């Protein structure tokens, strides 16, 4: 899975309230009811996503995102908020269109266990220069909750990208990192996991997805 790795532990987010906080809310997990000082001292703060992750059929997910041209503080804030949201939602990657910003940028962290959280990275205006081999994978997506799709990705890719300051970098990725980067670049093209299915399977998958979402909405309304 790309956005949603199975290897990642569920600890923090399992109990995280799914209420997005405005950008600039105190770091990692000052929940609405928790005083900020107390949250800072808590051994394991609950991580609340800072940004709302858009879900299919939100039209922004189908747009072709535009290149990033300005590398200013607003961009850095967006990246920081996206990284925090990616961890809160237990994703291995999050593309800007998934938080409603249609620009060619994504954040990733494909490491697991102890290493998770230590080295998130950003790709900006990424371009795949070369591909090697094939890699079948089962992917999920934060924008398609409950959906898993079997994909065929390139096993190894070389990507030209920009970093947060606009400097060119070359990234070589293999395995999960390769799959995740290809998944995020799909988002920048308005491509979703459904699009990797045959026409018939895609229709069925979208129908099932829509039915489940509708059932969830009705259940939520009844609880109110
Ligand atoms: Zn996704």
pLDDT band at 3 (very low <50, low <70, confident <90, very high): low
Long-range contacts made by residues 199-206, C-beta under 8 angstroms, separation at least 24?
205/147, 205/149
Lowest mean pLDDT among 2-16, 36-50, 81-95, 114-128: 2-16
Span 68-93, pLDDT tens digits: 999 999 999 999 999 999 999 999 99
CATH superfamily, domain at 11-197: Peptide deformylase (3.90.45.10)
Ligand 1 geometric centre to CA of 89 (Å): 12
Q: Which pLDDT score, from 0 to 100, does residue 49 have? A: 83
Span 141-187, pLDDT tens digits: 999 999 999 999 999 999 999 999 999 999 999 999 999 999 999 99
Specify whether the CB–CB gap between 185 and 126 falls below 8 A. Answer: yes
User: What residues have CB less than 8 Å from 86, skipping those under 6 apart?
Assistant: 92, 93, 94, 107, 108, 109, 120
Specify whether the CB–CB gap between 146 and 209 falls below 8 A. Answer: yes
For tokens 């924008």, name the residue: 143
- Concerning whether 15 is annotated as a catalytic residue, the answer is no
Phi/psi region, residue 66 (left: phi>0; alpha: psi -120 to 50; beta: rest), is beta
Q: Taking Cα atoms as reference points, which of 30, 61, 34, 33 lies closest to residue 48? A: 30
Span 30-73, pLDDT tens digits: 334 444 454 455 556 677 889 999 999 999 999 999 999 999 99
Ligand 1 geometric centre to CA of 29 (Å): 23
Whether 194 shows a pLDDT value over 60: the answer reads yes
Which residues, chain by chain, have CB under 5 Å from ion ligand 1?
3, 141
- Of 184, 212, 216, 222, the active-site residue reads 184
Question: What is the β-pairing status of strands 93-95 and 105-108?
Answer: antiparallel
Q: Which pLDDT score, from 0 to 100, does residue 4 have? A: 59
Lowest mean pLDDT among 5-14, 35-44, 105-114: 5-14
Cα separations in angstroms, 207 against 103, 141, 151, 171, 212: 29, 17, 19, 37, 9
Ligand 1 geometric centre to CA of 95 (Å): 7
Cα separations in angstroms, 95 against 2, 80, 115, 191: 12, 13, 21, 12
Helix (H, G, I), strand (E, B) or coil at 213: helix
Ligand 1 geometric centre to CA of 143 (Å): 6
Q: Taking Cα atoms as reference points, which of 55, 71, 65 lies closest to residue 185? A: 65
Helix (H, G, I), strand (E, B) or coil at 68: coil
User: What residues have CB less than 8 Å from 69, skipping those under 6 apart?
Assistant: none
């Amino acid at each position: 899975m790309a956005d949603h790795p199975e290897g990642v532990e569920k600890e923090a987010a399992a109990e995280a309230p799914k209420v997005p906080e405005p950008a600039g809310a105190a770091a990692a997990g000052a929940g609405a009811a928790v005083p900020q000082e107390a949250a800072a001292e808590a051994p394991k703060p609950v991580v609340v996503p800072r940004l709302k992750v858009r879900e299919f059929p939100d039209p922004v997910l189908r747009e072709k995102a535009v290149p990033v041209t300005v590398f200013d503080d607003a961009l850095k804030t967006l990246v920081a908020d996206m990284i925090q949201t990616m961890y809160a939602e237990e994703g291995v990657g999050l593309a800007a269109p998934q938080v409603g910003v249609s620009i060619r940028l994504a954040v990733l962290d494909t490491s697991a266990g102890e290493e998770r959280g230590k080295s998130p990275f950003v790709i900006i205006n990424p371009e795949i220069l070369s591909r090697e081999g094939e890699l079948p994978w089962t992917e999920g997506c934060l924008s398609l909750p409950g959906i898993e799709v079997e994909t065929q990705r390139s096993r190894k890719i070389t990507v030209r990208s920009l970093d947060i300051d606009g400097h060119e970098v070359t990234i070589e990725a293999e395995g999960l990192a390769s799959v995740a980067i290809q998944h995020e670049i799909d988002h920048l093209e308005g491509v979703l996991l459904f699009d990797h299915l045959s026409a018939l399977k895609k229709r069925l998958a979208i129908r099932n997805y829509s039915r489940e979402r509708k059932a969830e909405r009705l259940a939520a309304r009844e609880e109110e």
